[in-house]
């Protein structure tokens, strides 16, 4: 079994994360840019890592189940089928598979995440 540790995730300089480019489906003039670091990938497409996003509004693209703990920033998530979720540093959020909605990143956010396959 491999054990991997990333120290002080909240304090890693953005420049030390991989540049993943702009979000794919922006819905505001301010286009968010993504950075991150994949810590582990599995053959089924699930992965664990660190994700950072600058301010902007865009449609969620990940359709796998996901659990994330936010370590920096402030964002709103507007699910297509329920009330808006206000997310700040220290919050943990679980998205079931096929969770659709719109991200509204107010202050650059960073999270540690795990995406995984879950049957419907």
E strands, 54-96, in order: 56-59, 65-79, 85-88, 92-95
Mean pLDDT on 49-57: 98
* CATH no. for 17-116: 2.60.120.10
CA atoms within 13 Å, Cβ hemisphere of 62 = 20
In tens, the pLDDT along 64-89 reads 999 999 999 999 999 999 999 999 99
Cβ distance 50 to 112 under 8 Å?
A: yes
The answer to whether 61 and 116 have CB atoms below 8 angstroms apart is: no
HSE-up of 92 (CA within 13 Å, CB side)? 3
Compute the mean pLDDT over every residue in the chain, rounded to the nearest whole number. Answer: 94
Domain assignments of the chain as residue spans, ordered by start: 17-116
72 in Cβ contact with 110 (< 8 Å): yes
Average pLDDT over residues 36-48: 93
Give yes or no for a contact between 96 and 34, defined as CB atoms under 8 angstroms apart: no
Question: pLDDT at residue 6 above 70?
Answer: yes
Q: How confident is the model at residue 120 (pLDDT cuts 50, 70, 90)?
A: low
What is d(CA 24, CA 51) in angstroms, rounded to the nearest whole number?
15
């Amino acid at each position: 079994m491999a054990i991997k540790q990333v120290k002080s995730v909240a304090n890693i300089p953005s420049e030390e994360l991989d540049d993943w480019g702009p979000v794919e489906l922006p819905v505001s003039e301010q286009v968010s840019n993504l950075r991150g670091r994949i810590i582990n990938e599995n053959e089924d497409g699930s992965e664990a890592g660190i994700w950072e996003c600058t301010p902007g509004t865009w449609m969620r693209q990940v359709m796998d189940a996901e659990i994330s703990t936010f370590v920096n920033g402030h964002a709103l998530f507007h699910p297509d089928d329920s009330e808006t979720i206000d997310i700040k540093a220290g919050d943990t959020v679980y998205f079931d598979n096929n969770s659709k909605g719109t991200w509204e990143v107010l202050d650059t956010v960073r999270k540690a995440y795990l995406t995984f396959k879950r049957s419907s």
